[in-house]
Protein backbone atom coordinates (compact mmCIF):
# COMPACT_ATOMS: atom_id res chain seq x y z
CA UNK A 1 0.00 0.00 0.00
CA UNK A 2 1.15 3.54 -0.73
CA UNK A 3 0.65 5.10 2.70
CA UNK A 4 1.33 8.74 1.78
CA UNK A 5 -1.37 8.53 -0.92
CA UNK A 6 -3.67 6.61 1.43
CA UNK A 7 -3.33 9.32 4.09
CA UNK A 8 -4.02 12.05 1.53
CA UNK A 9 -7.16 10.25 0.32
CA UNK A 10 -8.33 9.65 3.88
CA UNK A 11 -7.84 13.35 4.67
CA UNK A 12 -9.90 14.23 1.59
CA UNK A 13 -12.64 11.89 2.83
CA UNK A 14 -12.55 13.55 6.25
CA UNK A 15 -12.85 17.00 4.67
CA UNK A 16 -15.91 15.79 2.76
CA UNK A 17 -17.40 14.56 6.03
CA UNK A 18 -16.67 17.95 7.63
CA UNK A 19 -18.66 19.62 4.87
CA UNK A 20 -21.52 17.15 5.22
CA UNK A 21 -21.68 17.07 9.04
CA UNK A 22 -19.76 20.14 10.24
CA UNK A 23 -20.98 20.18 13.84
CA UNK A 24 -20.16 16.54 14.48
CA UNK A 25 -16.72 16.86 12.90
CA UNK A 26 -15.98 20.07 14.85
CA UNK A 27 -16.91 18.21 18.02
CA UNK A 28 -14.64 15.31 17.12
CA UNK A 29 -11.82 17.76 16.29
CA UNK A 30 -12.24 19.52 19.62
CA UNK A 31 -12.13 16.18 21.46
CA UNK A 32 -9.00 15.16 19.56
CA UNK A 33 -7.26 18.45 20.35
CA UNK A 34 -8.17 18.22 24.04
CA UNK A 35 -6.91 14.66 24.34
CA UNK A 36 -3.56 15.51 22.75
CA UNK A 37 -2.73 18.27 25.24
CA UNK A 38 0.16 17.49 27.55
CA UNK A 39 -0.95 15.84 30.76
CA UNK A 40 0.33 12.96 32.83
CA UNK A 41 1.25 11.35 29.51
CA UNK A 42 3.00 13.13 26.69
CA UNK A 43 1.74 13.28 23.13
CA UNK A 44 4.00 10.44 22.04
CA UNK A 45 2.73 8.10 24.75
CA UNK A 46 -0.87 8.97 23.92
CA UNK A 47 -0.21 8.26 20.25
CA UNK A 48 1.25 4.86 21.17
CA UNK A 49 -1.93 4.02 23.08
CA UNK A 50 -4.00 5.15 20.09
CA UNK A 51 -1.90 3.03 17.73
CA UNK A 52 -2.31 -0.05 19.90
CA UNK A 53 -6.06 0.43 19.90
CA UNK A 54 -6.06 1.06 16.13
CA UNK A 55 -4.24 -2.23 15.57
CA UNK A 56 -6.62 -4.07 17.89
CA UNK A 57 -9.65 -2.60 16.13
CA UNK A 58 -8.06 -3.18 12.70
CA UNK A 59 -8.55 0.42 11.59
CA UNK A 60 -6.04 0.94 8.81
CA UNK A 61 -6.70 4.69 8.39
CA UNK A 62 -6.23 5.09 12.17
CA UNK A 63 -2.95 3.17 11.99
CA UNK A 64 -1.67 5.46 9.25
CA UNK A 65 -2.63 8.66 11.06
CA UNK A 66 -1.17 7.57 14.40
CA UNK A 67 2.07 6.31 12.85
CA UNK A 68 2.39 9.67 11.08
CA UNK A 69 1.75 11.48 14.39
CA UNK A 70 4.34 9.31 16.14
CA UNK A 71 7.00 10.17 13.59
CA UNK A 72 6.23 13.87 14.09
CA UNK A 73 6.38 13.38 17.88
CA UNK A 74 9.93 12.00 17.67
CA UNK A 75 9.17 8.31 18.19
CA UNK A 76 11.71 5.71 17.12
CA UNK A 77 11.27 2.54 15.14
CA UNK A 78 12.53 0.55 18.14
CA UNK A 79 9.82 2.09 20.36
CA UNK A 80 7.27 1.30 17.67
CA UNK A 81 8.45 -2.30 17.71
CA UNK A 82 7.77 -2.58 21.45
CA UNK A 83 4.25 -1.20 20.99
CA UNK A 84 3.61 -3.57 18.08
CA UNK A 85 4.76 -6.50 20.23
CA UNK A 86 2.28 -5.57 22.99
CA UNK A 87 -0.50 -5.11 20.41
CA UNK A 88 0.26 -8.58 19.02
CA UNK A 89 0.31 -10.11 22.49
CA UNK A 90 -3.07 -8.55 23.30
CA UNK A 91 -4.69 -9.21 19.92
CA UNK A 92 -3.26 -12.48 18.68
CA UNK A 93 -3.04 -13.43 14.99
CA UNK A 94 -5.15 -10.59 13.55
CA UNK A 95 -2.95 -8.07 15.35
CA UNK A 96 0.12 -9.67 13.73
CA UNK A 97 -1.33 -8.79 10.33
CA UNK A 98 -2.16 -5.18 11.29
CA UNK A 99 1.11 -4.68 13.16
CA UNK A 100 2.82 -5.55 9.87
CA UNK A 101 0.77 -2.82 8.19
CA UNK A 102 1.85 -0.33 10.88
CA UNK A 103 5.52 -1.24 10.34
CA UNK A 104 5.18 -0.87 6.55
CA UNK A 105 3.50 2.49 7.05
CA UNK A 106 6.34 3.62 9.36
CA UNK A 107 8.99 2.58 6.85
CA UNK A 108 7.28 4.44 4.01
CA UNK A 109 6.51 7.61 5.94
CA UNK A 110 9.86 7.89 7.73
CA UNK A 111 11.72 7.56 4.43
CA UNK A 112 9.78 10.41 2.83
pLDDT of residue 51: 97
Residue 29 has pLDDT above 90, yes or no: yes
pLDDT confidence of residue 80: 97
Q: Where are the alpha helices (DSSP H) in the chain?
A: 3-20, 22-35, 43-57, 60-72, 77-91, 93-111
Looking up residue 23, the CATH number of its domain turns out to be: 1.20.1290.10
Number of independent structural domains in the chain: 1
Contact 89/77 with Cβ under 8 angstroms?
Answer: no
Domain residues for the domain of 63 are 3-111
pTM value is 0.85
User: Over 90: is that where the pLDDT of 38 sits?
Assistant: no
Amino acid sequence: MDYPAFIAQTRDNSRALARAIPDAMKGFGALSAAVKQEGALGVKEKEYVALGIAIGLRCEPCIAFHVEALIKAGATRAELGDVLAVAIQMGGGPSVMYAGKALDCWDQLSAA
